Chain A
């Protein structure tokens, strides 16, 4: 039932006549015409609907359907009449675009009003959650629930993987098979829900939505955030503790404003760890919690859902009135001490550096005045007496270079001339620097620098200067090489300054841990945002004060940035989306497919629920049960529908696969929480704790369909490609697991049976035993080689 779906969606849409407008006409109107010819009605003309075009402006109707040659719009864009040229700037539209307009008008100027913004009254997902009419899931899913139950072994594997991401142990399987009590299965569900591994599995599902990563997105360098883990571990714990989901949501948005709940603060990592794209926070908030695509409305009113552009900027304004904030996980005294000592160290380092720069500058000046002698000595035509040996060596190398970027130095250059040139160039550089310093003022920021209009040396003179005075220049004395040049008072002072730095370094404690989060800006810095017309920050429209989504009833957000009020409105029983979206996400993970198949889009372009009654039943019960996620799991897992035999199989995802390798080979480190570490064969922790990078996603995660952590992910897509098999053939992670498992079972009398019981929780058939024996004896295969085959088998990689 599942596999066909995406395929249908993948079929190319055929360009229907009505789509011609959406693809060829509307985008051109939007880009070139709407700025003046919608609400502004320049020349009295409104181009926002077919009726408005027919009504036309001061010069008459804009189009005559069927007759492009008599349509003013066509005349205007053809620009044949000097008094009627549109668009007024940016040149004539390309000929093929003009031809499209002619075709469109000729074919009747069809306008697809069907896709005009829907109203909140019509959209299914905005209707109140209906109170249940049925008693249970199975009541609603009568047909599915009456299917035959799967066998106990398959069921235990299914539910164990579902709740913990790990396989059952052979002992757990034996116990379950032996337990004939009617509540044997219910006891298993309770055991698994109480396992700390439950939070690791389900926390990870949420982290997909939360676009969690262990680094800051930086396009040029790796930027790890070692404190990101506190958010990840908080999410894990929230699931394990069955934190009510409404509280979970509120904490994400406004934990800092929730009274007496310091335990919730780590949730702010949801924004504190943002990839910082302009629309990220609105996007993850609205799609993540409510499956509402508000970020689509940043350039124009949402074309399909009741979301005006103003709604986007009203919410964007809430987040713009916050700033990144680090919440220390240490006593104030410790934080203050660290900050003070850090400042002290920096001040001392500056003193040292300033002194070194002055001394190095004085030395460079002396060398410059010895330039003629250096050049002669380097050429071998003059004595080296009294000249600095290091500098002379650098001079010799410099003279031998063939790729100098200036032409001031060759065999015929007179030493005195070159010395004069260097002195002049150095002086000129200082002059240019002084003038630029005046232009820039002190402490310019990057933006000032980029827009400054400065002076510079001519190119070749600059490179000459750089070759002698810049980093590693001929006359440059680095800090490391400075001491031998210093004597007397200078030496003593330098040693004193260096010692002060060393002392401060030693005194500086390791930085205290902190939570990544956000906090409201001080009141004086908070602003009401203005709409960016067509998404352009230079083109500002009316103000968009903080208000909740109009489709959900609006409501001003007035306290501070407005986050707490926003949180209350998202996590409210009156919000028809939040509970529906979460129960759908949970259903999706249990069944492989949501009741709504677009889990982060409950709008008009999303799918409709395949079973609206079921969705509302679950959502209503979820809220009635105090937003308890565990109670919801229980209700789903104990239904007959969950326990039926399934024909389709699901491949283990990246985490379940690697975790199973470690778990079955007996090497899994089961510690919960802690630092993120790179995923290698030496790392024995669950994949949840493998470093997730926005800049460079781990190759194994990427290979096995881990979602892009730069954006909220609605659902994993599973692929089956040969490169994944290359991983199974050759990866050191797999090899290590084979060796570890071989060691684990080497003392067993019947190793093949032991392996089957650990990996598949069943006995091998006699044929399987025979194949194993043939491989291990006549084919001379080793035990690790044999185990690798089992690890590569469908039975290991797929679940029924």
Chain B
């Protein structure tokens, strides 16, 4: 049995973390980093699971509108299902901010902050299927078995607040695949994402075991006795942390009683909106990474009717905008990378397969899609890369999820080629043997 033991880790490394660790509300150091001076300390990853359509959100395509209803002049790329004619976006695009970046009306509020964002329009990934793409975006490999990015980050950097988990995942329910997406797999399980069912409003249901039938006073007496019975202080320290967590976690997450209705209103009283409020409050308390999945299953998977994107965006847009605004006004945006995107994009052509009853939707598209990133060292007001005239395929400066992962790690002070873990006889990395830091999106 291999025991990862903080204190011994410190002793073994002897790299000066001891002083840090003994401070109140101590940070736990990571096992590896940082490798260089970080530009960011936290990540908030807003995952629009199911697949956000790029041509209806952040990648305007006038040519697609021109060809609407007609075959594309080039043949359709192979995706999961059969698609037909060009399908121009039913939404209007407009220029926003100093940068004049064009954004769809369904993200109009987020667009007000577009000067904070780098809009990456040349994403691509391996497969047009949810499972491998979810694994790739989250864990850097199309097959299961690799640790999630949040696990790598907390493994590499530790967390700034021992009273809260370092990697928190929220979803009302679970995205498809589920917990494997935030699993630490072969990394020690303390780096596993802690999943909160963000549709729960009662704190007891939101955080398992955060409260029980004993009062804090009763528990205080129990801990005092335990301190006298245990021969060394390691166990009691962990127990004291858990004891404090019972107060700290509700302080942050019980937004029903801790947050004003006005604030909830700004984010939207939706699972995603409340999730964004919790994410901000967690980051304020030093949590390393918070990931929010938009919804149970795969809500953005609009094969049948792309107008559903408008309803979904009505939940996402105000929350993203309010999150950016609040992080900015508190000064935390410069330390926090905010990422918005799905596992792939959607075809610019209409789906005509026998699996949809009406043809007003888009199939999965792994060949080209968009992601946006703000804060934490990101160069705002930037457009990076481009798809072809119709938004099908990433053509200019193609960006693979490994590049995003390399970039996030870089901004967080980690070299993605050096953040390795030896398991079953070989060194593993989040980015496998690929990935390049996207210097073009870094301020």
A residues near B (Cβ < 8 Å) are 2-15, 22-23, 26-27, 91, 94, 96-97, 219-220, 277, 279, 293, 304, 405, 436, 440, 444, 446, 448-457, 459, 462-463, 466, 592-593, 598, 600-601, 603-607, 648, 650-651, 653, 695-697, 699, 702-703, 705, 708, 710-711, 714-732, 735, 768, 771, 775, 779, 781, 785-786, 788-790, 792-795, 797
- A9: chain B residues at CB < 8 Å are 421-422
Given B131, B143, B189, B307, which contacts A719 in the complex, CB threshold below 8 Å? Answer: B189
- A13: chain B residues at CB < 8 Å are 418, 420, 427
- The closest CB in chain A to the CB of B239 belongs to A725
> Does residue B362 face the partner (Cβ distance < 8 Å to A)?
no
Contact A797 B235 (CB under 8 A): yes
CB distance from A492 to the nearest CB of B (A): 35
Contact B356 A456 (CB under 8 A): yes
Q: Which of B13, B179, B424 has the largest count of A CB atoms less than 10 A from its CB?
A: B424
Bound-state CA distance A702–B130 (Å) is: 25
Contact A696 B174 (CB under 8 A): yes
Given B210, B355, B417, which contacts A23 in the complex, CB threshold below 8 Å? Answer: B417
- The closest CB in chain A to the CB of B5 belongs to A3
Within 8 A of A (CB), among B172-186: 174, 176-180, 183, 185-186
Which 9 residue pairs of A and B lie closest in terms of their CB atoms, listed nearest first? A730-B212, A605-B425, A449-B354, A725-B242, A462-B358, A27-B433, A722-B241, A601-B425, A606-B425
Contact A735 B222 (CB under 8 A): no
- A730: chain B residues at CB < 8 Å are 209-214, 246
Within 8 A of A (CB), among B1-48: 1-6, 8-9, 12-13, 31-33, 35
B residues near A (Cβ < 8 Å) are 1-6, 8-9, 12-13, 31-33, 35, 80-82, 84, 130-131, 143-145, 162-163, 165, 174, 176-180, 183, 185-186, 188-190, 192, 194, 208-214, 218-219, 221-222, 225-226, 228-232, 234-235, 238-239, 241-243, 245-246, 297, 305, 307, 352-360, 398, 417-422, 424-427, 433-434, 436
CB distance from A436 to the nearest CB of B (A): 7
Contact A452 B420 (CB under 8 A): no
- A651: chain B residues at CB < 8 Å are 1, 3
Given A10-B32, A23-B417, A785-B218, verify A277-B143 contact (CB < 8 Å). yes
CB distance from A464 to the nearest CB of B (A): 11
Contact B82 A453 (CB under 8 A): yes
Contact A781 B218 (CB under 8 A): yes
Bound-state CA distance A716–B2 (Å) is: 8
CB distance from A766 to the nearest CB of B (A): 14
CB distance from B51 to the nearest CB of A (A): 14
Bound-state CA distance A604–B425 (Å) is: 8
- The closest CB in chain B to the CB of A703 belongs to B189
Contact B3 A220 (CB under 8 A): no
Contact B213 A793 (CB under 8 A): no
Name 29 interchain pairs, CB-CB below 8 A, sorted by A: A2-B2, A12-B32, A12-B35, A13-B427, A22-B433, A27-B433, A219-B130, A279-B143, A405-B305, A449-B354, A449-B355, A451-B82, A452-B352, A453-B352, A456-B352, A456-B357, A703-B189, A711-B185, A715-B2, A720-B190, A721-B189, A722-B239, A723-B245, A730-B213, A730-B246, A735-B212, A789-B225, A790-B229, A793-B230
- B229: chain A residues at CB < 8 Å are 768, 771, 789-790, 793, 795
Bound-state CA distance A631–B209 (Å) is: 43
CB distance from B220 to the nearest CB of A (A): 10
Given B144, B238, B424, which contacts A710 in the complex, CB threshold below 8 Å? Answer: B144
- A463: chain B residues at CB < 8 Å are 358
- B165: chain A residues at CB < 8 Å are 723
Given B3, B81, B427, which contacts A451 in the complex, CB threshold below 8 Å? Answer: B81
CB distance from B403 to the nearest CB of A (A): 9
- The closest CB in chain A to the CB of B235 belongs to A794
CB distance from A455 to the nearest CB of B (A): 8
Bound-state CA distance A10–B238 (Å) is: 23
Bound-state CA distance A793–B227 (Å) is: 9
CB distance from A384 to the nearest CB of B (A): 33
Q: Which of A606, A695, A708 has the largest count of B CB atoms less than 10 A from its CB?
A: A708
CB distance from B239 to the nearest CB of A (A): 5
- The closest CB in chain B to the CB of A448 belongs to B354
Contact A4 B12 (CB under 8 A): yes
- B2: chain A residues at CB < 8 Å are 2-3, 5-6, 592-593, 715, 717-718
- A11: chain B residues at CB < 8 Å are 31-32
Contact A722 B222 (CB under 8 A): no
Contact A723 B1 (CB under 8 A): no
CB distance from B93 to the nearest CB of A (A): 20
Contact B219 A729 (CB under 8 A): yes
Bound-state CA distance A710–B165 (Å) is: 24
CB distance from A288 to the nearest CB of B (A): 12
- A7: chain B residues at CB < 8 Å are 4, 8-9, 12-13, 31
Bound-state CA distance A462–B304 (Å) is: 11
- A732: chain B residues at CB < 8 Å are 212
CB distance from B21 to the nearest CB of A (A): 14
Bound-state CA distance A459–B90 (Å) is: 12
Contact A708 B180 (CB under 8 A): yes
- The closest CB in chain B to the CB of A96 belongs to B436
Bound-state CA distance A598–B177 (Å) is: 28
Q: Which of A9, A22, A600, A722 has the largest count of B CB atoms less than 10 A from its CB?
A: A722
- A600: chain B residues at CB < 8 Å are 424
- B417: chain A residues at CB < 8 Å are 15, 23
Given B130, B163, B174, B426, which contacts A722 in the complex, CB threshold below 8 Å? Answer: B163
Q: Which of B1, B9, B436 has the largest count of A CB atoms less than 10 A from its CB?
A: B1
- The closest CB in chain A to the CB of B422 belongs to A9
CB distance from B102 to the nearest CB of A (A): 25
CB distance from B312 to the nearest CB of A (A): 15
- The closest CB in chain A to the CB of B358 belongs to A462
CB distance from B13 to the nearest CB of A (A): 8
Given B188, B352, B418, which contacts A12 in the complex, CB threshold below 8 Å? Answer: B418
